[in-house]
Chains A and B, each alone.
Chain A
Amino acid sequence: MSKGRFGKYGGQYVPEIVMPVLTELEAAYEKYKNDPEFLADLRKYYVEYAGRPTLLYYAEKLTKHYGGAKIFLKREDLLHTGAHKINNALGQVLLAKRMGKNRVIAETGAGQHGVATATVAALFGMDCKVFMGAVDMERQKLNVFRMKLLGAEVVPVTTGTSTLKDATSEAIRYWAAHIDDTHYIIGSAVGPHPYPTMVRDFQSVIGREIREQIKDEAGGRLDYLIACVGGGSNAIGTFYEFRNDKNVKKFGVEAAGRGPAVGDNAQTLSNPASRPGVLHGAYSYLAQDDDGQVIEVYSISAGLDYPGVGPEHAMFHEEGVVKYVGINDKEAIDAFQLLCREEGIIPAVESSHALAYLEKLMPNTKKDEVVVVTLSGRGDKDVQQVAKVLGEEI
């Protein structure tokens, strides 16, 4: 079996052209991941630029609303650029610099990872190209303009379904032709080894902070962790620290979209119809048809509608480390509104899926128990779409 496996999942299913650069990246990551100077540098940018540590906020009114366990929110939405994506983008750009690469590329769906990459590229004076499906560019015009303001070139992708999966394929193709001077900042815990490990490590600052902060906030008690899963980077960042804590029940929330039919949701692990397959370099669970063609998945959240999922999640799913569940569009929008009204926080539609799981979980919890929900991003970007769903003209 090849390198970079999580159980039987993961691997390096890429064209031979990309192998040398993956080997180079792996060597660089191995060299720097425990290097005190690299870690100090990363820490510095986390604290001084991104705004870490993020708050672990006790949502008192939301707790009262449900009348069960105490609810805390891990406020990744308060980070610079408004989501957890910056944790990974900073880590990878610092690595790219040390590897002597002066160009970065990225794929993006909703635009959050594209904005995070464009941001760190601006900060470090690097040339930046972001690949984005033409359909997504139309849906997320504001983020396209943001990236342009930050100096990035947004490359429209019109192949296949013109969405995130096609943008990812196109980023890999471009990378294959420019491996000498370009680093590919992949946005989630997906892709060929070493990406799933590297992205998880950069994101697991979320879980480590939760561990520390919960000591002060709840005397170290923690019973439930909830995070949303698209590719699964904020979720792996939340769960990884607690992977061996059997007393902490972990829920990964996937997008159940508008129903269980094929193509109507973005559930890869919580959908009995999906099965393992290979997409974008990794063996993991995959939404595919009977002939093994990858299907276009759907969610109201552009950040969750990816047909694959990180390989470590596939392992956690099979080993029962994390329970993966589905939340549909309506439940997510209800949770979105609830958090706005109860706590004065506008959450990202992605994160609203995690929040919505409280509806199902809370009736079975006790008052002395503690639940932490990772609020992966803020919802300013989604306001227009939510207005449309609610039938409001803005």
Chain B
Amino acid sequence: MSRLQNKFNELKAENKKGLVIYLTAGIPDAEGTLKAIRTAVDNGADVIELGIPFSDPMADGPVIQSASYEAIQKGMTLKKVLELVREIRKFTQVPVLGMGYINVMLNYGFEKLAADAKAAGLDGFIIPDVPHEESGDMKRVCKEQGLHLVEFVTPGTTDKRISETCTTADGFIYCVSVNGVTGVRKIDYSPINKVIEHVKKQTNTPCAVGFGIGSPEAAVDAAKGADAVIVGSAVVKLVMENKLAEAGKLIGDIRQALDKKVN
């Protein structure tokens, strides 16, 4: 069983909601990313989504766009992201998924990437510009290495596509809360919770809700029918501003709110 599956099983056994924290690799720099991950884990993050910077991140809002741009300017590459993962494995066994766009991975070579990622200690990938239809090649190489490739559903995903996605879903299902891009805003989480109800009837793969979550209240609201929530822009913004203590506090507050609500 993978680190990620173990983590979700553990959470389930403890009747806890999972907390996935997104951080862009190379922000504020490589060393700073490691510190940020340590902070996230110390404050209750269950899974780390490590952003692989890309020049044209079309699913991301302003915060992660600028983090991505800045990381590239500072020399972050996919190869260096894998080096970071090796460093991470020296201090934590937290599940880490690489979140990035397909071109960077295509350029690296799928087979080599999966092999190198496995060797570095990465647990899988989240690729926002690869919908179910285009996921075949990456899915195959990930499977060969025992890595997860996370798939997506949104409030607009048709029933037919939900069923298709559920048959191949792996690791967790990324449930996009709202039409649009990443970034903190007020969101009605009921439409995605309806989709999750539907998903739950077809698969045991955990559901994690992301997009828009920036506060403990929003996290609790989003987590209702889901197994986990994903928090990105709100944390990245603080890390970019070198406010690591505040980022830690935000993560801790969300953790507490999630735990309190359930127990």
Binding site for B on A (CB under 8 A): 1-3, 11-17, 19-21, 23, 159-160, 165-166, 169, 172-173, 176-180, 276-281, 286, 288, 290-295
Pairwise interchain contact A293-B72, C-beta atoms closer than 8 A: yes
User: Which listed residue, A11, A166, A290, touches B56 by the CB 8 Å rule?
Assistant: A166
Report whether B62 and A159 are in contact in the complex, using a CB–CB cutoff of 8 Å: yes
Name A20's contact: one of B61, B105, B107, B157 (CB within 8 Å): B157
Contact B129 A281 (CB under 8 A): yes
B123-161 CB contacts (< 8 Å) to partner A:
128-134, 136, 152-154, 156-158, 161
- Interface segment among B16-24, B175-183, B226-234, B236-244: the answer is B175-183
B232 to chain A, nearest CB (A): 14
Q: Which residues from B are CB-within-8-Å of A160?
A: 55-56, 65, 69
Contact between chains at B134 and A12 (CB < 8 Å): yes
Contact yes or no, B181 A159, CB < 8 A = no
Quick check: A293 and B54 within 8 Å, CB to CB?
Answer: yes
Contact B130 A159 (CB under 8 A): no
List 20 interface pairs A-B (beta carbons < 8 Å), by A numbering: A1-B136, A2-B133, A14-B58, A14-B129, A15-B152, A16-B131, A19-B161, A20-B157, A160-B56, A160-B69, A173-B180, A179-B179, A276-B106, A277-B107, A278-B103, A281-B129, A292-B54, A292-B105, A293-B55, A294-B55
Which of B61, B69, B102, B157 interacts with A278 by CB under 8 Å?
B102
4 residue pairs, one from A and one from B, having the closest CB atoms: A292-B107, A177-B180, A16-B152, A292-B104
Tell me, in angstroms, the Cα distance from A11 to B134 when the chains sit together: 8
How many angstroms from the CA of A13 to the CA of B100 in the assembled complex?
13
Q: Which residues of B contact A173 (CB under 8 A)?
A: 58-59, 61, 180-181
Are A17 and B129 CB-contacts (below 8 A) given A173-B181, A288-B107, A291-B107? no
Chain B positions within 8 Å of A, measured between CB atoms, are 53-59, 61-62, 65-66, 69, 72, 77-79, 101-108, 128-134, 136, 152-154, 156-158, 161, 176, 179-181
User: Knowing A291-B107, A294-B55 touch, does A16 contact B102 (C-beta < 8 A)?
Assistant: no
Given A11-B133, A293-B53; 5 other pairs, CB 8 A cutoff: A2-B133, A23-B158, A172-B58, A173-B58, A286-B103
Return the contact of B156 from the options A17, A280, A286 (Cβ within 8 A).
A17
CA of A16 to CA of B157 in the docked complex: distance in angstroms? 8
- The closest CB in chain A to the CB of B211 belongs to A17
Q: Are B66 and A177 in contact (CB under 8 A)?
A: no
List residues of chain A with CB within 8 A of the CB of B131.
12-16, 19
Kindly list chain B residues whose C-beta atoms are within 8 Å of the C-beta of A3: 133
Contact A15 B103 (CB under 8 A): no
Does B72 lie within 8 Å of A176, measured CB to CB? no
Find chain B residues with CB under 8 A from A165 CB. Answer: 56
Interface centre among A2, A15, A172, A288 (most CB of B within 10 A): A15
The interface residues of chain A lying within 8 Å CB-to-CB of B65 are: 159-160
Contact of A16 with B176 in the complex, beta carbons under 8 Å: yes
Q: Which residues of A are found within 8 Å of B106, using beta-carbon distances?
A: 276-278, 292
Q: Would A176 and B56 count as touching, CB distance under 8 A? A: no
In the complex, are the beta carbons of B179 and A19 less than 8 A apart?
Answer: no
Q: How far is the CA of A13 from the CA of B157 in the complex (A)?
A: 16
Closest to B165 in A: A16
In the assembled complex, how far is the CB of residue B125 from the closest CB belonging to chain A, in whole angstroms?
A: 14
Greatest chain B CB density within 10 A among A1, A23, A280, A293 is at A293
- Measured between alpha carbons, how far is A277 from B65 in the docked complex, in Å? 20
List chain B residues, Cβ under 8 A from A276: 106
Q: In the complex, what's the smallest C-beta–C-beta distance from B59 to chain A, in angstroms?
A: 4
Chain B: CB-nearest residue to A180? B179
What's the Cα separation between A187 and B104 when bound, in Å?
Answer: 25
Which one of B101, B105, B136, B180 has the greatest number of beta carbons of chain A within 10 Å? B180
- Closest Cβ of chain A to B123, distance in Å, is 21
Q: Which residues of the other chain, A, contact B152 by a CB distance below 8 angstroms?
A: 15-16
Give CA–CA (A176, B105) in the complex, Å.
23
- Contact between A176 and B130, CB atoms less than 8 A apart: no
Chain A residue numbers with a CB within 8 Å of B66 are 159
Q: How far is the CB of A363 from chain B (nearest CB, A)?
A: 40
Q: Are A279 and B133 in contact (CB under 8 A)?
A: no
Q: Compute how far the CA of A292 lies from the CA of B104 in the bound complex, rounded to whole angstroms.
A: 5
A contact residues around B69 at 8 Å (CB): 159-160
Point out the residues of chain B lying under 8 angstroms from A281, CB to CB: 129
A262 CB to closest chain B CB (Å) equals 14
How far, in whole Å, are A178 and B180 apart by their CA atoms in the complex?
A: 8
Q: Smallest CB-CB separation from A277: which chain B residue?
A: B103
Closest to B75 in A: A291
Q: Is the CB of B154 within 8 A of A16?
A: yes
Q: How far is the CA of A160 from the CA of B59 in the complex (A)?
A: 14
Question: In the bound complex, how far is the Cα of B109 from the Cα of A276, in angstroms?
Answer: 12
Do B59 and A15 touch across chains, with their CB atoms under 8 A apart?
yes
Chain A residues near B62: list those with CB within 8 A: 159
Distance from A195 Cβ to chain B, minimum over Cβ atoms (Å):
14
CB of A20 within 8 A of CB of B156, answer yes
Partner of A2, one of B55, B134, B180: B134
**CB neighbours of A180 from chain B (8 A):** 179
What's the minimum C-beta distance from A135 to chain B, rounded to whole angstroms? 15
Are A15's CB and B128's CB within 8 A? yes
Considering the complex, give the chain B residue whose CB is closest to the CB of A291. B77
Q: Name which residue of chain B comes closest to A23, CB basis.
A: B158
**Bound: A165/B131 CA distance, A:** 21
Q: Given B102, B136, B179, which contacts A176 in the complex, CB threshold below 8 Å?
A: B179
Smallest distance from the beta carbon of B214 to chain A beta carbons, Å?
17
| Most chain B CB neighbours (cut-off 10 Å) among A1, A16, A20, A277 | A16
A85 to B11, CA, bound (A): 55
Contact residues in A for B154 (Cβ distance below 8 Å): 16-17, 20
Q: Which of A169, A173, A281 has the most CB of B within 10 A?
A: A173
Q: Within 8 Å CB of A14, what residues of B?
A: 58, 129, 131
Q: How far is the CA of A290 from the CA of B179 in the complex (A)?
A: 33
Closest to B77 in A: A291
Q: A178's contact among B101, B103, B157, B179, by CB below 8 Å, is which?
A: B179
